Each structure stands twice: as structure tokens, then as C-alpha cells.
């Protein structure tokens, strides 16, 4: 069954949305991973210093030990409170899912164009919506802005990137 030109444009639009969402989720994952790694370095240093202090019979290290323990607790609390690892995992998995859906759409458009049905199109839209619903954390603002500038004029943008700033992108 041949699909209409409008249905083909709809699939192309969802391919673009999946592509941009995959990049958005990947860049947000990278952002939160960098923040998480930023906090890991001081943890390594403080724990190493504490091991040295505790392994030697240094006098008057009690106050230093307390300070290092407080610093470690504070860093761990911040990492836990902001759920950095959960954000990395969530955005990484959604990036992979959007990428797979993008490839599925490309396969339909380029290898199975004569076999596409309305049900296939609905399934694509449902899959896209289901992945979007699984995103648990907000996207990073400056990443959204950069993707709007980069892809706004040549890709159909996902809803989360439409009307997010004063940036006006003309569609050709």
C-alpha cells in the first residue's frame, strides 16, 4: 500500500524529531556526566588524604579528619540530592531509544516504502510519545538553545524545542 505524500512528510518529520531528541538527550547526559565527574575528583582527593592520615600515627589530625569527613559528606549529599547519576542514565537510555526509532523510520522510508501502512505510522508516533513520557528530568537550557540554532532551520524540531526562547527561526 502506498502512503500519501502527507504521510511521508509526517514520517520524515518524526525522523527529524527523533534525530534531534537523540542528540539533545545525549548532550544532556554528557553535561550531567561532566558535573558528576567534577564532584568525583574532590572525593578521591579527600578520601586519599584521610587514608594517609589514618594510616600514620600523626598527632593532631583529628580536626583535619573531621573537616575531610564533612567535605566528603557534603559532596556525596550534593551528588545524591541532584541525582546526577540517575540523570545520566535516564538521558543516555532515551538517547539510544530515540536513535533506534530514528533508524527504524529511516528503514521504513528507504527500504520498505511500499509496505508502510497507517498502522506503522501510528506505531511510530506512539513509540515516540512513549519515549518522551519516560524522560524524567528537564533538559539543559543552553543545550536546547544551541540545538535550536543548529537544527532549527533545516530540521523539524521536537515540541520541547519549539517556542522556548526569544530566538526566532524561520522555516524554509
Pairwise CA distance, residues 12 & 155, whole Å: 9
**In this predicted structure, which of 11-25, 49-63, 122-136 has the lowest mean pLDDT?**
49-63
Predicted pLDDT at 172: 46
10: number of Cβ within 10 Å: 16
**pLDDT score of 105 more than 90:** yes
Pairwise CA distance, residues 114 & 165, whole Å: 40
Give the CA distances from residue 3 to residues 8, 12, 58, 90, 129, in Å, rounded to whole numbers and listed in that order.
7, 13, 79, 35, 22
This model's pTM is above 0.95 = no
Closest CA to 50 of 27, 75, 68: 68
- Residue found under cell 558528576: 36
**pLDDT score of 34 more than 90:** yes
Predicted pLDDT at 171: 53
Confidence of residue 26 (pLDDT cuts 50, 70, 90): very high
Closest CA to 85 of 132, 137, 131, 24: 137
Confidence of residue 59 (pLDDT cuts 50, 70, 90): low
pLDDT digits (tens, 9 = 90+) for 146-172: 999 999 999 999 999 986 555 555 554
pLDDT digits (tens, 9 = 90+) for 1-13: 688 999 999 999 9
Predicted pLDDT at 147: 96
Predicted pLDDT at 122: 97
**What is the DSSP annotation of 104-134?**
HHHHHHHH-GGG--HHHHHHHHHHHHHHHHT
What is the average pLDDT across 117-135?
A: 97
Domain parsing of the chain, residue ranges: 5-161
Amino acid at each position: 500500500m502506498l502512503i500519501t505524500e502527507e504521510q511521508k512528510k509526517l514520517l520524515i518529520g518524526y525522523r527529524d524529531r527523533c534525530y534531534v531528541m537523540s542528540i539533545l538527550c545525549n548532550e544532556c547526559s554528557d553535561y550531567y556526566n561532566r558535573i558528576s565527574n567534577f564532584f568525583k575528583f574532590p572525593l578521591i582527593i579527600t578520601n586519599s588524604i584521610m587514608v594517609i592520615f589514618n594510616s600514620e600515627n600523626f598527632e593532631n589530625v583529628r580536626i583535619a579528619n573531621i573537616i575531610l569527613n564533612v567535605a566528603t559528606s557534603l559532596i556525596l549529599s550534593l551528588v545524591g540530592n541532584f541525582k546526577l547519576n540517575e540523570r545520566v542514565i535516564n538521558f543516555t537510555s532515551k538517547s539510544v531509544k530515540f536513535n533506534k526509532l530514528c533508524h527504524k523510520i529511516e528503514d521504513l522510508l528507504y527500504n520498505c516504502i511500499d509496505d508502510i501502512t497507517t498502522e506503522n505510522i501510528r506505531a511510530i508516533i506512539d513509540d515516540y510519545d512513549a519515549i518522551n513520557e519516560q524522560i524524567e528530568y528537564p533538559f539543559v537550557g543552553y543545550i536546547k538553545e544551541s540545538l535550536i540554532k543548529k537544527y532549527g532551520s533545516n530540521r523539524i524540531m521536537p515540541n520541547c524545542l519549539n517556542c522556548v526562547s526569544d530566538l526566532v527561526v524561520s522555516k524554509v
